[in-house]
Amino acid sequence: MLEIQNLVKRFGSFEAVKDVSISVPDGAFLVLLGPSGCGKTTLLRMLSGLELPSAGQIVFDGETVSDGDRNWSVDPAKRNSGLVFQSYALWPHMSVKGNVEWPLKVMKMPKAERAARVAEVLKLLDIAQLAERYPNEISGGQQQRVAIARTIAPKPSVLLFDEPLSNLDAKLRVEMRTELMKLHRATGATTVYVTHDQIEAMTMATHVAVMNQGRVQQFGTPADLVDHPETAFVATFVGTPPNNMVPVVKNGIGYKVGGRHMPVTPPADECLAMYRAEKMTLAETEGETTLPMELVETSAIAGRTMVTGLRDGLRLTAIVDRPPAARIGETVQFRLPERPDSWFAPDGERID
């Protein structure tokens, strides 16, 4: 079990990580997901021991490895965790085999055992044929595999990844995603993986912590996040496409939804209505729950069409069966379902 307890990280007066508490079960694949600057890397660096928390504790398997309150932490090399960065920094003067063997030499593993472990790991990552080559003689994707092999060679019980696939092209990313999941199953190591790519998060994770501005907005399984987003931020950050969020305000005896009077019964005078993209439709003409929007984007998605409209800063996405007749820049009528899927308060908290 990996426990993060009331963890805080301050840089001067700026709080990059704010009171984060999460319990990660053994063998889980936790993804830290959030926009740039939300504190993901800082949290991961604290887990690795590279950064000392300002307050709070990190506990691996019942043993405290970082204690911000006491200004103390176990050295990164001694905490049974392995870290893979976005840039993989292999030793250029060592062969692939030499790079993977290096951490085992450092931990003084006997020679025969070392050779067996290196062979096993190279096979697991499908790079045995590259064993004698040097880093400048292999591709970027292969270098990333070597970096991962080097990290898992000492059998760390916790594996930490910081956007490890962001330097790879789209096709290779998808392939490596599958490989990393295979690797996770094969090693059984509790994994913490940082990304801002929500598709990566939703396909790989057993657990996701969605972060924003230093806080964890929601911690749960990918399905939890999609089925029951706890904040408007989560609702609009996860899912493909993300959910639509439309402001609702009291106006006279009725309510305006996205700026138009509509027959709704919101739980408060001012709130946000969430509509799932697959429940939105397009209408030929104006109706009781339609919003005229400028058509800004259409794209084919798994045999259906994703249509995006814009109006006064409000962006709506619908997944429909057929592409609209309208062209980009023309007006289309988006029809909202009779009832939204969820309601959120103006501060983003879920209401029902």
Q: Which residues bind ligand ATP (CB under 6 A)?
A: 11, 14, 16, 34, 36-42, 196
Nearest to 304 by CA among 241, 352, 253: 241
CA angle, 47 then 51 then 56, to 5°: 65
| CA nearest neighbour of 146 among 78, 94, 80 | 94
Comparing CA positions, the residue from 129, 135, 133 lying closest to residue 147 is: 135
82: its two tokens? 């392995």
Q: Measured from the CB of residue 226, what is the shortest distance to ligand ATP in angstroms?
A: 22
| Minimum distance, C-beta of residue 12 to ligand ATP, in the bound complex (Å) | 7
Q: Residue 317 carries which side chain, given as an amino acid letter? A: T
Minimum distance from CB of 36 to ligand ATP (Å)?
Answer: 3
Pick the closest to residue 351 from 198, 260, 248, 237 (CA basis). Answer: 248
Rg, the chain, Cα only? 24
Residue type, 259: G
Pick between residue 50 and residue 223 the one whose CB is nearest to ligand ATP: 50
- 324 DSSP assignment: -
CB of 204 to ligand ATP, least distance (A): 17
Within its chain, how far is the Cα of 188 from the centroid?
20
Q: How far is the CB of 338 from ligand ATP (least distance, A)?
A: 39
CB of 34 to ligand ATP, least distance (A): 6
3-state helix, strand, coil in the chain (%, to 5): 25, 35, 35
Identify which of residues 30 and 100 has a Cβ nearer to ligand ATP in the complex.
30
Strand segments (E) across 86-232: 158-162, 190-195, 207-212, 215-220
Q: Of 35 and 346, which CB lies nearer to ligand ATP in the complex structure?
A: 35
Residue number, 166 or 305, with CB nearest to ligand ATP? 166
Q: Amino acid letter at 188? A: G
Q: Is 4 or 318 the residue whose CB approaches ligand ATP more closely?
A: 4
Query: Quick one: 13 or 265, whose CB is closer to ligand ATP?
Result: 13
